[in-house]
Structures are given as C-alpha cells and as structure tokens.
Amino acid sequence: MSNNEIDAFRPAAGLGNRHLQTMIPVLSGRSLAVHYTRQELTLEDGDFVDLDWTAMPDRASRLPIVVLFHGLGGDSQSHYTKSLMQAVASAGWVGVVMNFRGCSGRRNKAPRLYHSGETGDAGFFIDWLRQQFPLAPLFAAGFSLGGNMLLKLAGEQKNTLALSALVSVSAPVKLDESTRHMMKGLPRIYQAYLLKALKRKFLQKFPDHDYKSLIDVERQDILKCKDIREFDHLITARLHGFTGAEDYYQQSSAYPYIEQIEKPCLILHANDDPIAPSFILPDSHVLPQQVTLEVTEKGGHVGFLGGTIARPHYWLADRIMHYFSQQQRQG
C-alpha cells in the first residue's frame, strides 16, 4: 500500500455478519495496550474531564495532534480508541482522548453527564488545545455518539473550528430514527447493553446530588426505565434543558448541521450498521464539497475488523490516519 492508497475494507474471514463485526472487536480489542499520561482539564463551569495522552507535547511542538471523542459508554480503553491511538503513536504524531464527563473512572462534579449533542465541552477543549499548542496541526475523530457530536460542532463553528480536518465514524446523525431502530428485532441487544451502562453510571452519581429536587427523579424511576428513549425522556432531557426525548433528539442530531461544515470532513459508515442504520445518512450529492461520505458494504457499528480472527486488523485506524495524513500534506 502506497502513501496515496489504502485497501478497501474487507471483513475478516467468518466475520462478515453485521453483529459479529460489531461485537468481536470489543473482545479482540481487550488485548490492545496503550500507555497514557493523564491530565485533568477544568471546564468553564468548574467541572472537569480527564484527558489521556499518548505523549505530552511541549508548547513549541509542531507534531500533529489527533483528538478522539468516544461513543456512549466508551472511554480511552475502548477498542477503537486504543487501535487509533496506537496508529497515531506509530506515525510519530500525538494522540489525546477526551473522556466525556464521568467516563474516566472518576465521577464528575456536576449533576449532569454528557449527551449526543453536547458540543460545549469539546469546543472548549479544542480551543484550549489551540492555545496550549499554537504550532501543532489539530485533527479530530469521533465515534458513534462522539461522531454525531463532532459533526454538530463542526457545523456550528463552520470555518472558526480550530481543526485541520475531522472524521466521524458510525454516527447516529438522526438520533430519533437510530433510537427507534434499536427498539426492534436483534438490535435490541445493543439497546439493553447501552441502557444498562447508562443506568449504572447515573446511579453512581445519586449519593452526590439531590436528583429528586433537581429533576424530580428517584432511584426506582431509573431502575424502571425500559428503553433508552424512556431514559432520555426522564433523565437526559431534564438534566440538559430539553422538554423531552423528542426535543433532545431533534436539537442534538447532527444531520441538519452537516451541510454547514466548512472544514475537510470524512464520514465513515457501514451499510450494515445495526445501531445507526445507513438510511439515516444524507445524500452524498447534496453534501458540501469538503465533506466526503464513505459507506462500506460491511463493517457493522464501529467494527471494520479485517485480517483474521487470530490476527485482527483494525482497518478504521489505518483509514483515519490515511485521511489525516492526506490533509496534512495538502495543508
């Protein structure tokens, strides 16, 4: 493979099924190891997020920095996070994961957590990076929820966004339809998994805050939630100023923001994604010239596992770094 080419994605033998592509990388990725240096970043409201760096650059560094925003229930130890951070380090670049509020293994201070359309923390972090490392080109990749958030942020900030380029992977750009899709058939297994993680994380915060007074919610209300839509209506919407789940989904979906993106952007998606179905994607013919939509036939949700089961190849990391390298050369 030359510097100007990258092989098209081919699933590992026996892993062509969408659900295997989605689940097996979670298991195989446990063996991936990345050494991080942790840094706490204080946010504007006094809360914090933890940053995990592959290496700490100095202020005069000109090495490109790749920022990663993880998905719902993810963190710096997720399989896609570690595979990309390994690729970044191998290229001689610097990688940093912004663990969303409450996702780093430490409970955040504020009553709120994070959500699919929360661009404030990411925008603050990117601006902080630009101030701290003024000579370093900045790139960002977002996965699933983080991908939706990143696209929305890029559409909101347009040309003022301090990134050279961005990549979004498996993003549920229409939150309402993606949530509805997970309530039917086999995709319900993903909803059950994600809902369990949401409940656990939120219940851990109950000793720190009076949620009965704040949003009229008690522990038993959380335990009774049957699906993510109910959780979002009861918790996510109320905590973040939305009138309900529908309002939250409408205001937080990246779809209407994509046509406003002015920075080079690659949207990666699989046609067989079981969580964020490909029919939610915009028509490539109406996208801005600088936005590229790349849809593979196979890959599942944040899967794209090639190679073999014994020797897995995380294609996403190669594809993302190839795109960023192209943009760096052109810039």
Active site residues: 144, 273, 301
Rounded alpha-carbon distances, angstroms, from residue 327 to 4, 24, 134: 11, 31, 18
Helix axes 18-28, 79-90, angle to 10 degrees: 70
What is the residue whose two structure tokens read 């809360």?
A: 47
Three-state secondary structure call for residue 30: helix
**Residues in a beta bridge with 196:** none
Decide if 236 contacts 133 (C-beta within 8 A). Answer: no
Three-state secondary structure call for residue 222: helix
Q: How many CB atoms lie within 10 A of CB 197?
A: 13
What is the residue whose two structure tokens read 């092989």?
A: 7
What is the residue whose two structure tokens read 């294609």?
A: 315
Separation of alpha carbons 117 and 256, rounded Å: 12
Separation of alpha carbons 198 and 228, rounded Å: 9
What is the residue whose two structure tokens read 């998905």?
A: 71
Separation of alpha carbons 266 and 140, rounded Å: 11
b/e burial code for range 59-71 (CB count within 10 A of at least 16 → b)? eebeebbbbbbbb
- Residue 216: CA count within 13 A, CB half-sphere: 4
All residues at 6 or more sequence positions from 220 whose CB lies less than 8 Å from its CB, including other chains: none
| Residue 88: both structure tokens together | 């970044």
Q: How many CB atoms lie within 10 A of CB 151?
A: 26
